[in-house]
Amino acid sequence: MFKIVTIPGDGIGSEVVASAVQVIKALEEKHGLEIEIEEHLFGGASYDVHGEMLTEETLEACKNCDAVLLGAVGGPKWENLPHEKKPEAALLRIRKELGLFANFRPAKVYDALVNASSLKSEILSGTDFMVIRELTGGIYFGQPRGYDEEKGWNTMVYEKYEVERIARLAFETAMKREKRLVSIDKANVLECSQFWRNIVHEVHKDFPEVELSDMYVDNAAMQVVRDPKQFDVIVTKNLFGDILSDISGMITGSLGMLPSASIGSKHALYEPIHGSAPDIAGRNKANPIATIASVAMMFEHSFSMQHIADDIYTAIEKTLESGLRTADIANPGDSVASTEEITDAITASLEVS
């Protein structure tokens, strides 16, 4: 039996998580699985009830399950809170508490959506790469940090073990794909990046079959847009990965399409990369595909059931090929489907596959 903690969070989070739960229940029945689902508050929804974004109850539940599924966090309602009280601070804390040191973000273009991007189809067609971002080190967590009326300061720091473990995971991932890894840094101006590069090359000695190359982050941002097909696996530090993964996601057409997995040695959290979209919350307009694809990543990474993950990806592809589109991926003149319609179509495809 598997235990999943769902955290709808804020905005459209409750809608897309409900879609994902519908898919999970369909898979449970189809494959004879036993899955316990337990829902908890997090983010602004938790603050409104408990006065804090992340309660000890929610944190303990996340530590005592097989996987966590998160919808979305934040919104204008909580923007004026002190920095340490904001939803984003709670998200950083839960990643740290669960030891989620690696974030996986696939940048894959579905054939049915090759014209949904602002890039030309001939540049985009065939794009399929993975961005692996270090998640618990770097400038987001380095000390000292702070600001006063005259200046603000943050510290970018990495310890050897932090770089080693993310590099090893990236090489292992590349071994399962096309055996090509690009490490992104800024070693020409940052000592921390030169340290990163040195350690990545040390770990490379254990993976001689993988082709390793280095790329400066500014060039990488350009190359992702210029020629995305050149990449197979990208590994980079926290700050650079935050930026590059969003660029990589957006070239595929919509952030509403893209899942992510945050992995640690004991725990894992899955979530769509889009935000809480308060402007469409409660209107049955949200694209649930990123969250449903996050469930596919859950079955792949946490439950080691690749065949079920493939079932989900196939159902998504069939739904897109049928022409169903939420507003974020619709072309002018397309009939726009609701969150429920997309979810029902994916569920129906799963049931007959």
- 209-267 pLDDT, tens digit per residue, is 999 999 999 999 999 999 999 999 999 999 999 999 988 887 877 777 889 999 999 99
Cross-strand pairs, 261: 104, 270
Query: Cβ distance 88 to 73 under 8 Å?
Result: yes
Distances (CA, A) of 193 to 37, 135, 143, 238: 41, 15, 17, 12
Q: Which of 1, 21, 3 is nearest to 64 (CA)?
A: 3
Q: What is the pLDDT of residues 177-220, one digit of tens each?
A: 999 999 999 999 999 999 999 999 999 999 999 999 999 999 99
331 DSSP 8-state letter: P
Give the residue numbers marked as catalytic: 140, 186, 218, 242, 246
CA atoms within 13 A on the CB side of 236: 26
pLDDT of residue 43: 95
**Distance between the two ends of the chain, CA-based, in angstroms?**
23
Confidence category of residue 133, pLDDT binned at 50, 70, 90: very high
- Which positions ≥6 away from 91 have C-beta within 8 Å? 43, 73
Who has greater pLDDT, 302 or 83? 302
Q: What is the value of pTM for the model shown?
A: 0.89
DSSP H/E element including 19: helix 13-31
Q: Which residue has the tokens 């001689």?
A: 208
Which CATH architecture best describes the domain 1-99+266-353? 3-Layer(aba) Sandwich (3.40)
Q: What are phi and psi of 22, to 5 degrees?
A: -60, -40
Who has greater pLDDT, 113 or 226? 226
Return d(Cα 229, Cα 240) in angstroms, integer: 20
Q: Where are the domains of the chain?
A: 1-99+266-353, 107-254
- Pure H helices in 98-228: 121-124, 160-175, 191-204, 217-226
pLDDT of residue 83: 83
- Do the domains 107-254 and 1-99+266-353 match in fold? yes
pLDDT of residue 160: 98
Helix (H, G, I), strand (E, B) or coil at 141: coil
Q: Which of 272, 273, 280 is nearest to 327 (CA)?
A: 280
Return d(Cα 288, Cα 266) in angstroms, integer: 27
Which CATH architecture best describes the domain 107-254? 3-Layer(aba) Sandwich (3.40)
Query: Cβ distance 276 to 12 under 8 Å?
Result: yes
Maximum C-alpha span of the chain: 63
In the chain, the percentage of residues whose pLDDT exceeds 90 is 81
Confidence category of residue 353, pLDDT binned at 50, 70, 90: low
